[in-house]
Structure 1
Amino acid sequence: MSDERSERLRQRRKQSQERAQDVSGSETDEPAETGKSSKPSKPAEPDKQSEPSEPDETDVDEGSVKEEQVGTYMYLPKSQKKDLERLYNILKAEYEYEYDEEFEKNRAFYPLVVKYGLDSLEGLDASEIRERLDSL
């Protein structure tokens, strides 16, 4: 289902770009834009044109995380996964209560965990790495 949603967002973004090009009168750019994603978008285009109000609503939304970031998969011990989920739920509740906006796991939480985890590991020597591994 998330792949379908991603495809719908891509279609809406593409249609918005095409409308912007039509308004600006730059017809020479249109064939190149259509050629970039012609395989997935051609069959879906007629269906999407029947939804005139939705593209305007999604123009306000941020793009798909899949399009903005690189998917990275990892395996964690169950206890670390549980700690990660617990921390996410706590931070999500606090952040959303304070700022009244969504705190997304893939867009916000995971990049924070990796950034500050990398910062804490930077500059460690081999013996310090061994100590941290032993403490897991």
Structure 2
Amino acid sequence: MSDDRSERLRQRRKESQERVRESGSSEVSETAEASEPAEQSESSKPSKPDKPDETGDAEGDVDDSSVKEEQVGTYMYLPQSQKKELERLYNMLKAEYEYEYGEEFEKNRAFYPLVVKYGFESLDGLDASEIRERLDSL
């Protein structure tokens, strides 16, 4: 399974590089290469120009940039039940938010940062025995 994912990522990176070359954005890619580590610049050089404005005017210029350019990729392993619950919660919040505000609720740009922020708040200040209790309840 991880081989498929890595192959897809390699393919996307290759396609992104080809799009940059085709669009004649050598100045942009040279700047990105000079300011970022090699692996990160390859995966985050191009923003998605064909993607419509995602959040309206609320965030200003942030709309045109890729989430990869704004945030740091973080990978984690979860039990299947937690992954399923995370997906369910995202889908519920996405539907409610998009219905209410008429704008996209992105998983990587909005949902995951909310989960982490409010997860931090609920764990902040716990002592060792409280941490043990929460681990035992997983």
* TM-score interval for Structure 1 and Structure 2 normalised by the shorter chain: 0.5 to 0.7
Match of 1:83 among 76, 82, 85: 85
What is the correspondence of 1:20-31 to structure 2 with a 5 Å cutoff?
Answer: none
Unaligned runs of 5+ in 1: 19-31, 40-53
Normalising by structure 2, what TM-score? Answer: 0.61
Moved over 4 A (4+): 5-9, 32-35, 57-60
| From 34, 37, 54, the counterpart of 1:36 | 34
Partner in structure 2 of residue 28 of structure 1: none
Q: Give me the CA root mean square deviation.
A: 3.5
Aligned length: 104
How far, CA to CA, are the matches of 2:100 and 2:127 in structure 1?
A: 39
Shift of 1:114: 0.2
Indicate the structure whose relative CO is greater, using CA pairs within 8 Å and at least 6 residues apart.
Answer: 1
Give 1:100's aligned residue.
102
User: Which of 108, 130, 133 matches 1:131?
Assistant: 133
Tell me how far apart the structure 1 counterparts of residues 17 and 105 of structure 2 sit (CA, whole Å): 19
Structure 1 Cα separation of the partners of residues 113 and 78 of structure 2: 17
SS state at 1:123 partner: coil
